[in-house]
Amino acid sequence: MSLDQRSSAILRALTKTSSCISVEELMKFAHVSKRTIYYDVKKINSWLQETGLYPLQYVRGAGYFLDEETKRSVEKEEIISSYDYSPRERVAWTAIIIFIREKEIYLHDLMMYLKVSRNTMLDDVKKLKKILSAFQLELRASKTTGYIIRGEEEQKRKSLSCFLQEIIVKEGREGFEEKLAHYAPSFLEELTTMFALFIESEQELSLKFTDDVLYMLSVNTLLFLKRMKRGKWIKIDSVEKNVLKETKEFQSAKTIAEKLSKKWSILFQEDEVYYLTTHLLGSKVNDFTTHNLEQKDFSFFRTIVRSMVTDFQKYACVMFRNEKEVEHNLLIHLRPAFYRVKYGLPVDNPLSHTIQSTYKDVYNITKKVVHHVEKAAHNKMSEDEIAYIAIHFGGWMRKEGTVPAKRKKALIVCASGVGTSRMLETQLYSLFSTVDFQTTVSLREYETMPLHVDFVVSTVSIPNRGCPVFLVNPILTEGEKASLLKKVSTIIEDGHVLSHSVEGIMDLIREHAKIQDEKLLYQKLKEHLYQPILHGKGERSKPVLSDLLIKENINLKESPLSWQEAIRYAAIPLLENGDIQEEYIKAMIKNVEELGPYIVITTDVAIPHARPEQGVNKLSMSLMTLSKSVSFSNKDRHRVQLVIVLAAIDNETHLKALSQLTTLLSERENVEKMINTDSKEEVIDLITKYSK
């Protein structure tokens, strides 16, 4: 029998963990119902038994696990040979096979490679035609040429990169390499050579690519090379070539091209060197510093970053304490992101959907500030790119003010780059108050560095080097946090009393039952007995707009004589309620004096605010309309007739209400209605409408 995509993924997950995985965790992992999980478990067990291996073991209250011998056997078994492709995988592999073909590919070849019927293959071809049309490409077939894809070479490579990313994310590197080696036997050997060339280029550019990027650079370039050998060349605009020629990456691309020419006996055309330059420019790095930038580049990107950070603070009504550090870390990510946007290079962010749903407020604010990049790049930014930038802002909002206690030492291994690691760091800081997370490293750094930590948390499967390794997703759900906390607690807590209890239970079990694996049972008992509760470490509840803008905090048709009075008058309800202190009003006024009218967020509307520690006692908001506008500068666009004071207690709790307020204010008629009305009830009705 064969395993389908989901069952194979579940089995692989079970081989990578040292503890049980509960049914609930498997449901979240596979995004299916409990009934479907039981069906998949039955299918996996049948496959294991057919293969001569022990089935999945189940521990009541804990979940499923594989014994160590079965894990080793499963990892050695060629699961790939009995693997059923999903429809999406078949379509992606169909495209890849056609793109890198070294001979004519016909329908029967695809049927043989993908092990499907004629009708299924025809249906997949139809789906592929539709996807390729989005890249302005056309799939054709004839008796003499077989399947061919027509269109611009640049679009062909762009679509090829997208198909490759989809396959590698779903199947992992090992699964991808095994399958591709079936179509191109020399692939693995050639990939190793390509990998080495890009590692050399890291040294020349004085930077380190992330593990994922280094791998994708190597795979993409190798497959592009196969197209070049068939005379499929790229064309680059002459004006763009003059820009690319001035970069360090162009010199490195020339060196790589020379080495590739010798190794593969192919003469690189000049435009291909420029094309390789765009890929180097668009590649995420781990430790890029501003010293790597030419002065003109540094000024260019710093201007964009400063505008983004300033706007983000304005729209989120937050003030970063370490604004320069926020800008520096965003600059590291922004440079390659800018070139990906500019040249339309695809990027796959498997966390995009999670970020958009779990951190919706931060994502929506980020969407409002990326226009600075889009304007400079003359191109739109994808949702995946926006999600990566949202990770940066979200990570810093959570990190500010958190200092981990230095009791135990841990290391984070992350293959995805600065932004993803920042988000994971801040989650782990808030989760483990007694752990000092020393640094975040790539997989390659982990494999070679001295290891002086108590445990390792990793987003990728890594070898155990003598201390426990915990495999996690970059963004943790509450269930995943609880599970990780439970497992790590058996390491970081004083286990004297716990060990005594576990030993007592072990003695009872030995008396009345046969223990197959004492070490594993001991670990599982520790995890089960020590189940700490997430005391306040989960997401703080976020009130809606109507919870904060209550009738008592609204004043209409007031007549302040200056913008300073406007801020003070608007804040009086909060001061009288004890929600803020007098120093908060002074801080709001001082901010405008020092930073300018940044609080004027749209026509006629200002949202004064300061930092939480400057006199906020309780999360609150107030609203005031003016009978006549006051100006926050000598410019007409800074005249205001609606003032909404925000008193935030941290960088996050107010974001939901603020997002709802932003939506309300985005409709000009809503602003005019509030300014012109004499009825508080009418304002309240409008607020309630947007508080769902």
Closest to 138 measured CA to CA, from 163, 155, 113: 155
Other Cβ atoms less than 10 A from the Cβ of 653: the count is 17
The one-letter amino acid at 114: L
Closest to 549 measured CA to CA, from 598, 597, 607: 607
Is residue 563 within 8 A of residue 598, CB to CB? The reply is no
Rg of the Cα atoms in the chain? 29
What H or E segment, with its residue span, contains residue 412?
Answer: strand 408-413
What H or E segment, with its residue span, contains residue 142?
Answer: strand 138-142
First CA to last CA distance, the chain: 50
Structure token pair of residue 661? 């307020």
Is residue 127 within 8 A of residue 89, CB to CB? The reply is no
Question: Looking at beta carbons, which pairs linking 672-681 to residues 24 or more positions away fall under 8 Å?
Answer: 674/623, 674/625, 674/642, 675/604, 675/625, 675/626, 675/641, 675/642, 677/556, 677/625, 678/556, 678/557, 679/556, 680/551, 680/554, 680/556, 681/551
Quick check: is 609 catalytic? yes
Residue 102's Cβ-side half-sphere holds a number of Cα atoms within 13 Å equal to 10
Q: Which of 279, 372, 609, 638 is catalytic?
A: 609
The one-letter amino acid at 268: F
Enter the DSSP assignment of 31: T
Structure token pair of residue 397? 């909002």
d(CA 40, CA 42) in angstroms, rounded, equals: 5
Q: For tokens 């989005």, what's the residue?
A: 134
Strand partners, 580: 616
Is residue 39 within 8 A of residue 54, CB to CB? The reply is no
Is residue 113 within 8 A of residue 181, CB to CB? The reply is no
Is residue 153 within 8 A of residue 233, CB to CB? The reply is yes
- Dump the DSSP string for 311-357: HHHHHHT---TTHHHHHHHHHHHHHHHHHHHHHT-----TTHHHHHH
Is residue 290 within 8 A of residue 298, CB to CB? The reply is yes
466 contact partners, CB below 8 Å, separation of at least 6: 451
d(CA 661, CA 666) in angstroms, rounded, equals: 9
Is residue 209 within 8 A of residue 228, CB to CB? The reply is no
Indicate the length of the chain as a whole number: 692
Other Cβ atoms less than 10 A from the Cβ of 38: the count is 12
Distance of CA 360 to the CA centre of its chain: 13
User: φ and ψ at 627, to 5 degrees?
Assistant: -70, -30
State the Cα angle at 600 between 599 and 601, rounded to 5°: 95
Structure token pair of residue 385? 């790119």
User: φ and ψ at 16, to 5 degrees?
Assistant: -95, -10
Q: For tokens 């990049």, what's the residue?
A: 373
Is residue 264 within 8 A of residue 225, CB to CB? The reply is yes
Residues labelled as active-site residues: 609
